[in-house]
Amino acid sequence: MSKHDLKNKTVVITGGAKNLGGLISRKFAEQGANLVIHFNSDSAQADAETTLKAVQALGAKAIIFQADLSDIRKIEELFVKAKETFGGVDIAINTVGRVLKKPFLDTTETEFDSMSDINSKIAYFFIQSAGKHLNNNGKICTIVTSLLAAYTGLYSTYGGLKAPVEH
């Protein structure tokens, strides 16, 4: 793709403030896209603001959006905010995920529930909301690690709870 292939296209990126999500935000900014950069908590706000400044320096129109997406109403609000700001959503990318490296026998119910919210519930309802809100010919992408292909005893909650992404 050449620069500006995505000019005036809007991309929503969950977890778009840092790490892989931050890199994806910057790459789409280089292509001329408008960005809605989601981040989860106050602890990620500085990263979100740094990424926002970086993509704006690349010429992108962008906003940041803070929310705990395990409350599925917040996923809906994310897409509504993108529509209100940029007139629609063309690409929806979910990078939200968490790995719990722990033996199966030692996993607590609280840890399982948290992993389920982050890796399964958010993925499922993100795909659902994207399906409702994407412009015609829109694209949905959910990113996972290669751990889904590696069967190890220490990643059961991650691999087992990413089913909505695989299906």
73-88 pLDDT, tens digit each: 999 999 999 999 999 9
Strands of 4-157, DSSP E:
10-14, 34-39, 62-66, 89-94, 134-142
- Distance from C-alpha of 135 to C-alpha of 83, rounded to nearest angstrom: 10
Region 145-162: mean pLDDT is 62
Q: What is the pLDDT of residue 165?
A: 67
8 Å CB contact between 15 and 40: yes
Residue 28 tokens read as 């789409």
129, 118 Cβ separation under 8 angstroms: no
* Rg, the chain, Cα only: 16
The percent of residues in the chain predicted with pLDDT above 90, rounded, is: 67
Cα dihedral across residues 86, 119, 18, 148: positive or negative = negative
pLDDT of residue 1: 45
pLDDT reading at 147 higher than 80: no
Indicate yes or no: pTM above 0.85: yes
Rounded to the nearest integer, the mean pLDDT of the chain is: 88
**DSSP annotation of 29:** H
